[in-house]
């Protein structure tokens, strides 16, 4: 599953978790739209995106892990190595 397949419920618009999901999905959508992989490759980012999508489908969603994986992707794009 990818984040493009994740549906965000409009009923959650005032919820902090909804805002977190929205920012995460926006980050990954921008990568898809721009095809800008920065200092890394699509293969690396794709595996992280799938892990983030898996976090979203957990019940309850594991947003802390999804945020952490997305931050890791941002650092990789910027040229940092994973700690």
Given its phi and psi angles, is residue 74 left (phi above 0), alpha (psi -120 to 50 degrees) or beta? alpha
Could you report the per-residue pLDDT of 25-63, keeping only the tens digit for each? 999 999 989 888 889 999 999 999 999 999 999 999 999
18, pLDDT greater than 80: yes
Residue with structure tokens 């995106």?
A: 49
Q: Check whether the bond before 77 is cis (ω within 30° of 0).
A: no
CA dist 28 and 6 (Å) reads 12
73: CB partners within 8 A, 6+ apart: 27, 28, 31, 40, 45, 48, 49
| Confidence bin at 17 (pLDDT 50/70/90) | confident
Tell me the domain boundaries of the chain: 16-77
pTM of the complete model: 0.81
């Amino acid at each position: 599953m990818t984040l493009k397949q994740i549906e965000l419920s409009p009923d959650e618009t005032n919820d902090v978790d909804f805002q977190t999901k929205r920012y995460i999905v926006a980050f990954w959508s921008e990568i898809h739209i721009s095809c800008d992989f920065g200092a890394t490759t699509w293969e690396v980012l794709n595996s992280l995106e799938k892990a983030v999508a898996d976090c979203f489908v957990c019940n309850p969603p594991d947003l802390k892990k999804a945020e952490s994986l997305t931050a890791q992707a941002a650092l990789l794009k910027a040229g940092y190595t994973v700690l």
